[in-house]
């Protein structure tokens, strides 16, 4: 069977930067280490006044198509995954196609276009749709363009404000791909939850603490479901495990939980149980609280073991390096984590061809999905072509006043005139809601 997967990716960051320890923490009167150590974030990417989900998505897709020498006729499908859409009818992919038609010969009139919504997991769902479309033989030899684009903004003063971010990831899904082959097996954990939602509102209503618990619960279910179709997962099976990363501290919790599940090492568990003087199993406890306390103690000890720390340093930590500098990109976040891992491998001379990744996606509302990927021979060239370091370096570092001003520009309830801001050359720039980004 011909391999189907991601042939190429491009990452486009919002052009502004908010420094969390340097600018955000002093303004909030918080210890900078709450952000750098607690949440694991140094900075967030922020959209400039002339950027929105369309322009960032189109800029990423433009760079990808140009680099791969593609024309519109090579693309049979454009799906945009976003939870920052501004239109309940017309999909963002039509705006993106309109942008791209300004610069490429031909048009996308024969490409199927859509928009996927399920919070952050929609990016992975769009990948799945593209995979299924190709596997079903409906692609006529063409590739799919999947674009995950979001302005992950929170109301000022919301607990989520420190985790904001903005950026797009464009991915080309093809037969015989250069980067990774997607597995046919998937595991899901899905339930009706209301801890994070945006019912006809721009900024989310969030019960942040609960959202962390829901993420962990659904992820555990997805892992168990994945194992029911793909067989047991062991810690040494995967070179990296990119997780959806709202902030790196969240992945620290999810990784520990996943590790505890996959090691299945009852001797270690028994040793640790001896150390804490109790058996961390529900039947041994009178109340749920007793059990929870024991489990917390057990997890704290597990976290300190050399085996866990080595596994975390090798398999998880490298997935977080871009996220630390950009914050949450919602639909793009897990795809940034994959890129981060492969970039780490390239920079450290690690041969990844044929190695497996365990990819753990998540979206509030809530659903987790786990699948595996196998890295393909062309991965080095694809990762080498990314210019993410330069993009991050080139961001404009905002003062607190700049931040408040630009946040207001992006607040749909406020009437700020965007025309008064300068716009760059050679990028698609935003020129009003419901209008296509124009290439200056
Ligand atoms: P908070 O109240 O700002 O922070 O909210 P906190 O007080 O819970 O502290 C955060 C961590 O920093 C804690 O670590 C503290 O101990 C530590 P933990 O105990 O959790 O390991 N800390 C410090 N560490 C070192 N030095 C210090 C210090 N002070 C504190 N001085 C919260 C955190 C996550 C609730 C908030 O950021 C939030 O509401 N975020 C938005 C929701 C979110 O991101 N949820 C994540 C799961 S849901 C998800 O991923 C889906 C999502 O992407 C949306 C979608 O799918 O569409 C969000």
Rg (CA), the chain: 22
Convert the pLDDT of each residue in 364-393 to its tens digit: 999 999 999 999 999 999 999 999 999 999
Convert the pLDDT of each residue in 408-440 to its tens digit: 999 988 877 666 566 777 888 887 665 556 666
- What is the mean predicted confidence (pLDDT) over 259-272? 78
Q: DSSP per residue over 319-361, as a string?
A: GGTTHHHH---GGGHHHHHHHHHHHHHHHTT---TT-EEEEEE
Query: Band of the pLDDT at 281, cuts 50, 70, 90?
Result: low
- Give the pLDDT of residue 426: 80
Instruction: Round to whole Å and give the CA distance between 102 and 16.
Output: 26
Q: Indicate if the pLDDT at residue 276 is higher than 60.
A: yes
* CATH number assigned to the domain comprising residue 175: 3.40.47.10
**Burial track 339-378 (b if 16+ CB lie within 10 A, e otherwise):** bbbbbbbbeeeeebeebbbbbbbbbbbbbbbbbbbbbbee
* Dihedral in degrees, nearest 10, Cα atoms 159, 365, 247, 161: -30
Distance 35 CA to ligand 1 centre (A): 9
Q: Nearest C-alpha to atom 19 of ligand 1 is from which residue? A: 38
Given 244, 335, 344, 407, which residue is catalytic?
Answer: 244
Convert the pLDDT of each residue in 315-349 to its tens digit: 999 999 999 999 999 999 999 999 999 999 999 99
Mean pLDDT of the chain: 93
Domain encompassing residue 134: 4-439
Q: Nearest C-alpha to atom 54 of ligand 1 is from which residue? A: 364
Q: Is the CB of 328 under 6 A from ligand 1?
A: yes
Distance 34 CA to ligand 1 centre (A): 9
* Residue 99: active-site member: no
ipTM of the complex as predicted: 0.99
Q: Is the CB of 362 under 6 A from ligand 1?
A: yes
Given 10, 51, 115, 120, which residue is catalytic?
Answer: 120
- Give the pLDDT of residue 393: 98
Q: Look up the pTM and report it.
A: 0.95
Q: Across the strands, what pairs with 8?
A: 172
* Residue 83: active-site member: yes
Structurally, how many domains does the chain consist of? 1
Distance 323 CA to ligand 1 centre (A): 14
Q: Indicate if the pLDDT at residue 395 is higher than 70.
A: yes
Q: Nearest C-alpha to atom 41 of ligand 1 is from which residue? A: 160
The answer to whether 253 touches 38, Cβ cutoff 8 Å, is: no
Convert the pLDDT of each residue in 149-206 to its tens digit: 999 999 999 999 999 999 999 999 999 999 999 999 999 999 999 999 999 999 999 9
């Amino acid at each position: 069977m011909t391999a189907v997967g991601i042939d190429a990716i491009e990452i486009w960051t919002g052009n502004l930067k908010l420094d969390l320890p340097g600018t955000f923490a002093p303004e909030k009167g918080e210890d900078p280490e709450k952000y750098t150590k607690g949440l694991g974030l140094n900075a967030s990417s922020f959209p400039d006044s002339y950027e929105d989900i369309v322009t960032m998505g189109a800029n990423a897709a433009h760079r990808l198509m140009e680099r791969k020498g593609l024309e519109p006729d090579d693309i049979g499908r454009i799906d945009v995954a976003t939870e920052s859409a501004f239109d309940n009818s017309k999909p963002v992919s039509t705006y993106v196609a309109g942008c791209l038609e300004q610069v490429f010969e031909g048009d996308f009139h024969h490409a199927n276009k859509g928009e996927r919504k399920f919070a952050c997991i929609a990016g992975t769902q769009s990948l799945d749709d593209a995979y299924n479309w190709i596997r079903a033989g409906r692609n006529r030899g063409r590739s799919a363009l999947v674009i995950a684009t979001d302005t992950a903004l929170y109301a000022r003063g919301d607990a989520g404000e420190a985790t904001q971010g903005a950026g797009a990831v464009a991915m080309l899904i093809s037969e015989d791909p250069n980067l990774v082959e997607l597995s046919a097996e998937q595991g899901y954990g899905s339930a009706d939850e209301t801890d994070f939602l945006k019912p006809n509102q721009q900024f989310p209503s969030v019960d942040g603490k609960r959202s962390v618990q829901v993420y962990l619960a659904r992820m555990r279910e997805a892992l168990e479901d994945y194992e029911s179709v793909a067989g047991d997962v062991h810690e040494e099976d995967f070179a990296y495990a990119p997780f959806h990363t709202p902030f790196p501290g969240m992945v620290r919790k999810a990784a520990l939980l996943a590790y505890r599940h996959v090691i299945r090492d009852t001797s270690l568990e028994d040793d640790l149980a001896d150390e804490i003087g109790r058996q961390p199993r529900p039947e041994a406890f009178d109340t749920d609280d007793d059990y929870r306390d024991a489990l917390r103690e057990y997890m704290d000890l597990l976290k300190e073991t050399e085996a866990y720390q080595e596994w975390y340093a090798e398999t998880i930590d490298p997935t977080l390096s871009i996220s630390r500098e950009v914050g949450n990109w919602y639909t793009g976040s897990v795809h940034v984590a994959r890129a981060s891992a492969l970039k780490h491998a390239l920079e450290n001379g690690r041969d990844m061809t044929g190695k497996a990744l365990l990819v753990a996606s998540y979206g509030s509302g809530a659903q987790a999905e786990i699948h595996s990927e196998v890295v393909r021979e062309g991965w080095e060239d694809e990762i080498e072509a990314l210019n993410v370091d330069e993009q991050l370096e080139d961001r404009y570092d905002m003062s607190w006043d700049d931040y408040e001003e630009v946040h207001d520009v992006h607040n749909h309830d406020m009437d700020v005139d965007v025309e008064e801001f300068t716009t760059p050359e050679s990028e698609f720039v935003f020129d009003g809601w419901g209008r296509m980004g124009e290439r200056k």
